[in-house]
Structure 1
Amino acid sequence: MNVISYGGGVQSTSLLVLAARREIPPRTLLFANVGSDSEDPGTLDYISRVALPYARAHGLTLHILERTTRRREVETLWGRLMRQGSRSLPIPVSMSNGAPGRRSCTTDFKIRVIGRWLRQHGASPARPADVSVGISLDEIARASNRHSEPYERITYPLLDLGLRRSDCQAIIAGAGLEIPPKSACWFCPLKPLGSWAELKRDRGELFDRACLLEDTLNARRSLLGKDPVFLTRTGRPLAHAVSRAQDELPLDLGCDSGWCMT
């Protein structure tokens, strides 16, 4: 079994194009959707409007996977966070003492979702699947931090080919496709301040919902006698920490898992 872990961003979309050109072997792509209320709307739009039609036109299969509970109900990351009475804190918030909080969002909503599909389709420790992850040469540190499960062998075609992010963008443009937006949950605490400011400037309704999320989490923590947490590293509520962006700000990759933002 040979698949691409598709994140909807620049690097994994370049893998899609390379597979379409048969320059890498996978014919199947797996996108773990953390929820239509959680994934960045721009990523979901790009997948439905660009990636899926392109994959079909070139004989590739792009599966969109979702996390399901034991009751076979779809669970989203936003739904878990906002569920009444929930004490779950799976996203990497910043603690009031400045320390980073622990997270399980990538494991629960990306790695395990794709892992379940792989095992259901025959992957095992005896016959592991080859999983191509979109990490380019200019972010090679993410590869060294990437953990693999017994049922998979992680491969890095972009590293093997010596490709940087700019090369990936050129590959996508060369296929006649538009460049995808950066992929991540729109409320991800690993987002740098510049990206938060852009969200406030360009998509204010999502910024307001992120403020609501932070307020909801802290209202629960207050009832439990716990210190507040924050969606930025400033130690201040999001609404006070972020000023409106005036200029375009440089890209900042905050996730090192190799599953998000690729």
Structure 2
Amino acid sequence: MTITNTEPAFRCLSLGAGVQSSLLLILAAQGHLPKIEYALFSDTGWEPRSVYAHLDRLEREVAAPAGIKVFRVSSGNIRRDALDPDHRFASMPLFIKNPDGGDGMTRRQCTGEYKIKPLKAKVRELLGYPYPARIPAGVFVEQWIGISRDEFHRAKDADVRYMRNRFPLLDLDLTREDCLRLLAENGFPDTPKSSCLGCPFHSDRQWRQIRDQSPEEWADVVSFDAAIRAGSARANATGSPLLGSAYLHRSRLPLDQAPIDRLSRAERRGQQLDLLPLADADEDDEPGGCSPWACRGDAA
């Protein structure tokens, strides 16, 4: 007879350092949720400076006093790897203008390679069964993922037996707006959205914020956008050039020429402005951050 454990070996938080996961860390540290042992931040190497600064503060002021160990795990630097002809690159979901004038997108492999892979490796290590060791049946961890009620459709089961996903914000029936309010009440009113600096799924508002608030990072993403016009350096070096032109912005224009000053309908409602051009329909709702386990591209 096989005996299956009903209790996890430990509880850990997938900490993207965005709105929802930051609140989960705070609630756990304050004792409003069960104790978690670890918080795992999967670093693509190209996160906004604001995210790294926020993560430092969370670790210093929230996690450490509560005895929660924060681990920063990584599979490499997504920006550097994309431009390295000697490195196999897990492609980003770039917008493509095909030679015939049609539109397309490259495959999205970055989430699996730069977010999920290092998280799984760390969980295995903490369990004491690093790859390729076999994890015994019934041994599992409870992994918390920050998905709020307004994004319930992004909640998914884990794809491995040794990880069981839990979504405490759904249990608490909290929306993203609830999370923002609670973060402000706890001294974190400026919690950033978590996603790669050059994520193609940025909204126009996010692109504007980078351009207007962080000129150095804007220059960085504009430079990267130009550098990937012909696809990844590895593909070109191995004789598999992109058939078409690649862009970070959905308009399929160079980023510094893209129409990012268009306001979404939500922004118009909030600011009561009628003077600036309106964004496309897919900009109506401002997307949240990018969870390793629920990339916003899954709904695209």
TM-score range, shorter chain: 0.7 to 0.9
Aligned to 2:71: 63
Aligned to 1:102: 107
After TM superposition, list the pairs within 5 Å mapping 1:198-217 onto structure 2. 198-217=209-228
| Residue 184 (structure 1) aligned to one of 185, 195, 201 | 195
Aligned to 1:81: 82
- Whether the aligned pair in 2 keeps the contact of 1:192 and 1:254 (CA below 8 Å) is no
Structure 2: how far apart are the matches of 1:107 and 1:191?
A: 18
TM-aligned CA deviation for residue 244 of structure 1: 4.7
Structure 1: how far apart are the matches of 2:18 and 2:49?
A: 12
Matching residue's letter, 1:236:
L
Q: State whether structure 2 residue 263 is matched by structure 1 residue 253.
A: no
- Greater relative contact order (Cα 8 A, min sep 6): structure 1 or 2? 1
Structure 2: how far apart are the matches of 1:16 and 1:199?
A: 26
- Whether the aligned pair in 2 keeps the contact of 1:2 and 1:129 (CA below 8 Å) is yes
- Whether the aligned pair in 2 keeps the contact of 1:29 and 1:61 (CA below 8 Å) is yes
- Whether the aligned pair in 1 keeps the contact of 2:251 and 2:259 (CA below 8 Å) is no
Q: State whether structure 2 residue 254 is matched by structure 1 residue 237.
A: yes
Aligned to 1:142: 154
Q: State whether structure 2 residue 165 is matched by structure 1 residue 154.
A: yes
Aligned to 2:91: 90
Aligned to 1:27: 37
In the superposition, relative to structure 1, how do residues 257 and 33 fare at CA in structure 2: closer, same or farther (>3 Å)? Answer: closer
- Whether the aligned pair in 2 keeps the contact of 1:133 and 1:156 (CA below 8 Å) is yes
Structure 2: how far apart are the matches of 1:50 and 1:103?
A: 30
- Whether the aligned pair in 2 keeps the contact of 1:92 and 1:103 (CA below 8 Å) is yes
Aligned to 1:4: 13
In the superposition, relative to structure 1, how do residues 54 and 221 fare at CA in structure 2: closer, same or farther (>3 Å)? Answer: closer
Q: State whether structure 2 residue 139 is matched by structure 1 residue 127.
A: yes
Aligned residue pairs total 251
Matching residue's letter, 1:253:
G
Determine helix, strand or coil for the equivalent of 2:105.
coil
Determine helix, strand or coil for the equivalent of 1:134.
coil
| Residue 44 (structure 1) aligned to one of 43, 52, 65 | 52
Q: Which is greater in Rg?
A: 2
Determine helix, strand or coil for the equivalent of 1:130.
strand
- Whether the aligned pair in 2 keeps the contact of 1:5 and 1:12 (CA below 8 Å) is yes
Structure 1: how far apart are the matches of 2:116 and 2:85?
A: 26
- Whether the aligned pair in 1 keeps the contact of 2:19 and 2:192 (CA below 8 Å) is yes
- Whether the aligned pair in 2 keeps the contact of 1:5 and 1:259 (CA below 8 Å) is no
Q: Deviations over 1:5-63 (max 9, x none)?
A: 0000110011011111222222311111111xx01110001111344332111222211
- Whether the aligned pair in 1 keeps the contact of 2:81 and 2:88 (CA below 8 Å) is no
In the superposition, relative to structure 1, how do residues 225 and 30 fare at CA in structure 2: closer, same or farther (>3 Å)? Answer: closer
TM-aligned CA deviation for residue 245 of structure 1: 7.0
- Whether the aligned pair in 1 keeps the contact of 2:155 and 2:294 (CA below 8 Å) is no
Matching residue's letter, 2:179:
C
TM-score (norm: length of structure 1): 0.84
TM-aligned CA deviation for residue 257 of structure 1: 5.2
- Whether the aligned pair in 1 keeps the contact of 2:204 and 2:262 (CA below 8 Å) is no
- Whether the aligned pair in 2 keeps the contact of 1:190 and 1:255 (CA below 8 Å) is no
Structure 2: how far apart are the matches of 1:84 and 1:229?
A: 17
- Whether the aligned pair in 2 keeps the contact of 1:10 and 1:179 (CA below 8 Å) is no
TM-score (norm: length of structure 2): 0.74
**Structural RMSD (CA):** 2.7
- Whether the aligned pair in 2 keeps the contact of 1:201 and 1:244 (CA below 8 Å) is no
